[in-house]
Chains A and B, each alone.
Chain A
Amino acid sequence: MQRHLISAADLTRDDAVLILDTAEEMARVADRPIKKLPTLRGRTIVNLFFEDSTRTRISFEAAEKRLSADVINFTAKGSSVSKGESLKDTAQTLEAMGVDAVVIRHGASGAPYRLANSGWIDAAVINAGDGTHQHPTQALLDAFTMRRRLIGRDAGLGQDLSGRRITVVGDVLHSRVARSNVDLLHTLGAEVTLVAPPTLVPVGVENWPCEVSYDLDSTLPKCDAVMMLRVQRERMNAAFFPTEREYSRRYGLDGDRMARLPEHAIVMHPGPMVRGMEITAEVADSDRCTAVEQVSNGVSIRMAVLYLLLGGNEPAVTRPTGSEEK
């Protein structure tokens, strides 16, 4: 693995499977009376959040604390970052404090990449979502959830998602979740189809390793998982689609559409859900919807990533899966 986790595209198949397998073991820690491991004792991790995201920050914080790291939360929400110096200045302040890793959420695409590559800081950088670029731990927890549900907890170990068909529906244009998932799912051997109104698909998507469709109904009967992306109501004002009603009629997942999915297929959502927009309450609350599971899986995935990046003297070396290691 590389020293930083900036983009899901940076992960090899073996890296990704190692993270998923490690997360599976981490998940078992949650079942113990003492949900804590001493692994990162003495390491300092900063959660540097320039954008409000309580759920992601809490998830990272839980993962860090379960691994016994010292955690510093730095939330810069509301403070003006228009001038940009604040990122560099903050980075250098953290460097001076001797932090080992920075978990960064930033509204500007590429900010984590800059942080990792600008020479401002030596710490490992983990991208917790940057602009409309990447959110690699989200893609990993989504893949983890799929592997568990579609293959099984133990049966999934060492496995990728070869041949699984995943449909991602919604505002692809503005979605870092979509970008990260396309990259990672492709690496893991899955076939991805993006479904969105043409206005919410980026120009240049033709180079992505996936299919693009404008028609949800035709993709539903043949997918193993359908992932609904949040669609912000404000997009309506910028003429991406005419009305909320029309959007949900054409691209929302309701009970009728869910019934057209294969028996085993799951419904995923990275949250927060806009009920009545991209998903109806009936679907969101059904057994097939993994939204809540995704949240708890997020902690396991983030523990795995933190352990594999920071647990040793250098990032984990990926080996062919199944080999014997001690």
Chain B
Amino acid sequence: MDKHDTQANPQASDARPVLEGPDIARVLTRIAHEIVERAKGADDVVLLGIPTRGVFLAQRLAAKLEQITDRTVPVGSLDITMYRDDLRMHPPRALARTEIPGDGIDGRLVVLVDDVLFSGRTIRAALDALNDIGRPRAVQLAVLVDRGHRELPIRADYVGKNLPTSLRETVKVQLAEEDGRDTVLLGAKPAGH
């Protein structure tokens, strides 16, 4: 699945940065403004990040939304491991946290936040997971990078950067909270992968 793939070969030596720290901050600010605009003030928005890096992005977006709207925006996390369609293809993974904000998601506008949009299968799983948690008014998707190669009819509502890639390439997002720095790296897949 897309998540799995983007994490492969994190230390590829020939990877080159396509977004640096300031770029990431800028696109998140832009996305925050887009959310406010499209959600007409964003007063019923709930941000749900997809672990691990989607959660940090969601938290950063929430902070920016608060700056813009001067209101607290509920933010949480949605682990999709148990809903993956490729569970049977790998050993089971350790679960990440699902943390739904106190007021729940019923009747709210849920914005799913993830780092990379690739095949779309993660988002499919996230929609299934949401279904078991409540009934949002609407669901939107925000991603830092859309690298193409969709395998499902899914598109993002907010995109930080469209990054045309080859299937032989890897996209690696690093965030300060997890990796010590902010960057998006484009590299080549190791041979035989």
Any B CB within 8 A of the CB of A272: no
Residues of B within 8 A of A312 (CB): 87-93
B79: interface (CB < 8 Å): yes
Contact partner, A311, options B52, B92, B96, B97, Cβ 8 Å:
B92
Q: Are A313 and B89 in contact (CB under 8 A)?
A: yes
Residues from chain B with Cβ under 8 Å of A314 in the complex: 91
Interface pairs (22), CB distance under 8 Å: A18-B94, A22-B95, A28-B98, A32-B133, A33-B133, A34-B132, A34-B133, A37-B132, A38-B128, A39-B83, A307-B82, A311-B82, A311-B87, A314-B91, A315-B91, A315-B92, A316-B91, A316-B93, A317-B91, A326-B3, A326-B52, A326-B96
Residue-wise, chain A 15-32 has the 8 Å CB interface mask toward B (1 for contact) of 000100110011010001
With an 8 Å Cβ cutoff, the count of chain B residues facing the other chain is: 25
> How many A-B pairs with Cβ below 8 Å?
67
In the bound assembly, the distance between CA atoms of A287 and B183 in angstroms comes to 51
* CB pair B132 A36 closer than 8 Å: yes
Instruction: State whether B94 touches A21 (Cβ < 8 A).
Output: yes
The main secondary structure of chain A at its interface with chain B is loop
B4 interface residue per 8 A CB criterion: yes
How many residues of A are in contact with the other chain, CB < 8 A?
27
Residue of B nearest to A316 (CB): B92
Question: Given A37-B82, A38-B128, A324-B178, does the pair A25, B87 have CB atoms closer than 8 Å?
Answer: no
Q: Check if A319 is an interface residue, CB within 8 A of chain B.
A: yes
**Residues of B close to A309: CB separation below 8 A:** 92
Which A residues lie at the B interface, using CB under 8 A? 18, 21-22, 25-26, 28, 32-34, 36-39, 307-309, 311-317, 319, 324-326
- Among B4, B7, B95, which residue has its beta carbon within 8 angstroms of that of A25? B95
Whole-angstrom distance between the alpha carbons of A39 and B129 in the complex?
11
Closest CB-CB distance, A158 to chain B, in whole Å? Answer: 10
A325 to B91, Cβ gap below 8 A?
no
Is the pair B98, A25 in contact by a Cβ cutoff of 8 Å? yes
B82 CB contact (under 8 Å) in A34, A39, A313, A324 = A39
User: Does B134 lie at the interface of the complex (its beta carbon under 8 Å from any beta carbon of A)?
Assistant: yes
**In the complex, what distance in Å separates the CA atom of A161 from the CA atom of B51?**
27
Which chain B residue shows the least CB distance to A18? Answer: B94
Do the beta carbons of A319 and B89 come within 8 Å of each other? no
B residues less than 8 Å from A37 (CB atoms): 82-83, 132
Are the CB atoms of A324 and B91 closer together than 8 Å? no
Kindly state the separation between the CA atoms of A325 and B178 in the bound complex, as whole angstroms: 12
Which chain A residues lie closer than 8 Å to B178 at the CB level? 324
Q: A25-B98, A314-B91 are in contact. List 16 more A-B contacts (CB 8 A).
A: A22-B95, A25-B96, A38-B82, A38-B83, A38-B128, A39-B87, A309-B92, A311-B87, A316-B91, A316-B92, A317-B91, A324-B178, A325-B94, A326-B4, A326-B7, A326-B51
